[in-house]
Amino acid sequence: MFRQLVWLAAFSLIAAVSLPPRSQAASAFEIDAGVRATLDKFFYEIPGARDLADKSVGILVFPSVVKAGFGFGGEYGEGALLIRGQTAEYYNTLSASFGFQLGVQERSVIIMFMTHTALEQFRSTAGWKVGIDGSIAIITLGVGGSIDTDKITSPVVGFIVDPKGLMYNLTLEGSKITRIYR
């Protein structure tokens, strides 16, 4: 009986995290406000971030990606793709995982497309899967570190930020990014 209860709880948690009801989806205004606040904080806290953003052809920002797990886990977030500083499209990110995990974590994800080819490949793929349809070079910095824009050569770079700052040794592998039509 206890085992069935654990499985039911795990399944319920996955369903709650992975499949949020459409009625709770953020509005375009809410997403845009979160994107601007996330970028402002990122530019303020990380020297060189604004210079790198200025060199990019597109920036995909997920202000809040919530990950929860109890054996099984999932994460979900909504964000916007900015081109020349303007919102072009809205997206969500979704992933599921299995393994030892317990708890809830919130983070922000910023993905910069450094070439037109990389951006167009992303935009033309329905349900872009990180690691399959394209790879993202995750940039990590030490405390007080800055971004050297001359050393970044990857066509797609990503940053994972938590409320305490840039996070280390994280991956976006397995995440599926899908366009939201509003």
Task: Kindly report the three-state secondary structure assignment for every residue of the chain.
Answer: CHHHHHHHHHHHHHHHHHCCCHHHCCCHHHHHHHHHHHHHHHHHHCCCHHHHHHHCCEEEEEEEEEEEEEEEEEEEEEEEEEECCEEEEEEEEEEEEEEEEEEEEEEEEEEEECCHHHHHHHHHCCCEEECCCECCEECCCCCCCCCCHHHCCCCEEEEEEECCEECCCCCCCCCEEEEECC
Nearest to 138 by CA among 120, 159, 109, 156: 159
Structural domain that includes position 74: 2-180
Nearest to 59 by CA among 114, 123, 120, 133: 114
Q: What is the pLDDT of residue 158?
A: 87
> What's the CA gap between 178 and 180, in Å, rounded?
6
pLDDT-based confidence at residue 17 (cuts at 50, 70, 90) = very low
Q: Is a pLDDT exceeding 50 seen at residue 81?
A: yes
Q: Is a pLDDT exceeding 80 seen at residue 109?
A: yes
Nearest to 99 by CA among 63, 73, 124: 73
Q: What is the pTM of this model?
A: 0.77
Span 31-40, average pLDDT: 96
pLDDT-based confidence at residue 107 (cuts at 50, 70, 90) = confident
Identity (one letter) of the amino acid at 158? G
Q: Is a pLDDT exceeding 90 seen at residue 61?
A: yes
Reading the block at residue 169, the tokens are 């040794």
pLDDT-based confidence at residue 102 (cuts at 50, 70, 90) = low
Q: Is a pLDDT exceeding 70 seen at residue 9?
A: no
Q: Is a pLDDT exceeding 70 seen at residue 166?
A: no
Count of structural domains, the chain:
1
pLDDT-based confidence at residue 139 (cuts at 50, 70, 90) = confident
pLDDT-based confidence at residue 114 (cuts at 50, 70, 90) = very high
Q: Are 138 and 171 in contact (CB under 8 A)?
A: yes
Q: What is the pLDDT of residue 154?
A: 87
Widest CA span of the chain, in angstroms? 59
